[in-house]
Chain A
């Protein structure tokens, strides 16, 4: 039997199909302003028997497809346990959320922290800042790593940070240096969240922001610990949902 997990996030939708605990296929698309259409598109041509939804759009999916749902916190926990059975601490930074999840020895979620309503320090923040400095999202992290000096950006609110960036630009600062300052601000916030829960050990970094090499490098420096990024960091939640569904009686 094939089990699918679909993670409907604020920016992207991932779908992972598993069979007997092994990944069969992985699919991804953008969420856009019309997630239902995108969901139907991504499901077209995927073979599965049952499906479970996670992520922000899970309740939308639950109603439309009469499918079970699970929070992305539990789903990421399960997905990471599949990929790195020894890991106990997970950082997930997505389009509008950041979460730190700590797993117990039984493989269940033990503690978690999550940002509140504000999307400060998430993918959305980096996206807006990249645009403000005229970087593409893909080059934002690598270029920040080429900074010559580190500037301090204090604001974490996207709106305030944008005006801080504007004033740094008008002071004649190099955009790579400003970019590094912005990345450091995100890492400071994420590290604070991790430290509140963390019992030590390596950290698995998932979600879209895990693709940003600068964030990963800075996190390793800040916490002095190995930060592991899965090969496909955005599909961990969908994978977890598929595995949880397979285990459901």
Chain B
């Protein structure tokens, strides 16, 4: 009959309710609390001692602290118990944002306690950390285009093929191309044809077999 949800966000009280006649009403009140702290120092002192690191459920300093994606701090045992209480509707107790076991981050202080994790509870979810991306130029050293030529070769792993990995795609090779008049050229061409022929036969054999 009367559905009222209330959220207090930074001094603004949001009051939502439904009832019979008007289906949905939103009222927004701004609550201005009287400033009771006379001195800035008192307030700072208070904030650093209480409040800031209190679990939103037990109101004590958060132990085995976890923080939700929406930024709300809880003891892991407290939050776990709440998530178990309403497994079908897991929302942040403070702001009702969706929340789940995998979406909370544990907070590790330097002097965190070494007391035993509670037997009845699963351990806190682990922190998530991603390795930084390695620098591209160092990961594939042979792939740079800056070293004067574009090399591409192919071959089949066994010795003879690896040896005569094709020179057809070997652009801008620094070796001088043999001239047709050179006797080496004929020899080269013959050798090349022969190896090519052998390679084809083997390749064919491999395909058939």
| Chains A and B come from one and the same complex | no
Give chain B's interface residues, CB within 8 Å of chain A.
none
Give chain A's interface residues, CB within 8 Å of chain B.
none
